[in-house]
Amino acid sequence: MTALRRTLAALLCAAGAAHAASLQISPVTIEFGTDDTATGITLRNPGERPVYGQVRVFRWDQADGQDTLTPTQDLVASPPLIEVGTQSEQLIRVVRASRTPSGIEQSYRLLIDELPQPGEAPTNGVSIRLRYSIPVFVEPAGNGTPQLDWALLRSNGGWVLRVRNGGARRAQLASVELVTGDGRAYPLTRGLLGYALAGRTGQWSVPLPAGVALGGKVTVRAAVNSQPASAVVAVEPPG
């Protein structure tokens, strides 16, 4: 890279940082008990510019192993438009409009999309608008736990990990690694892999090396809802 290109790249990065804003959110997950009707989250703006945003709630589901979001009125967030001043806080109140009991946990996402400042003129720099996605869960009518079935499937010359959750509560999956029959460990992710929602299936491409030997017993080790867990993985045989 020439000196001029390095300088231009540095200026672009600086412009992006100058126009970026970030919010601190607490809590990072919202959970409703069976009888709870309302709760809230706090947004804090530690920056030097006000942050404007739009707040919406979506029903969170999984189809064919992938997350889906659809508009819903089951939960209502207020206010729907926010202005968080510099070094200030804003409370977002979330209310359950529907309290119909369910046998499995209900899942939602609270989305906060940053909006341009009112009257803000277009800039020559990089303007970064962030989206915050907060998981929201409503407890089932009865007690329940995740019940997971793990499988490795072949896909386009690689592998996908499919996790079917037959239980009544979600499974948050993190720090996932596979251990093959010869004792070799293959870390898939050090942090969060994703969720297998209650009664649903999650599916992710996994970075296994080409030609990896998956004969014999294959097991998975993971943090499931922050608790250590292990299980046998069903491996799809060669076609």
Sorted by where each begins, the domain ranges of the chain are 21-138, 148-235
H helix runs in 163-208, sequence order: none
User: What residues in the chain have per-residue pLDDT under 70?
Assistant: 1-21, 121-127, 239
CATH 2.60.40.10 is the classification of domain 148-235: yes
Run of H or E residues at 202: strand 201-206
Decide if 128 contacts 16 (C-beta within 8 A). Answer: yes
21-138 against 148-235: fold identical = yes
Cβ distance 129 to 111 under 8 Å?
no
| CATH code for the part of the protein at 21-138 | 2.60.40.10
pLDDT at residue number 33: 93
Instruction: Return the structure tokens found at 159.
Output: 């592998």
Provide CB contacts within 8 A for 166, sequence distance 6+.
147, 148, 149, 199
pLDDT value, residue 232: 97
Give the pLDDT confidence score for residue 125 in this predicted structure: 63
Output the pTM of the full model.
0.85
Which pLDDT tens digit goes with each residue over 185-229?
999 999 999 999 999 999 999 989 887 888 789 999 999 999 999
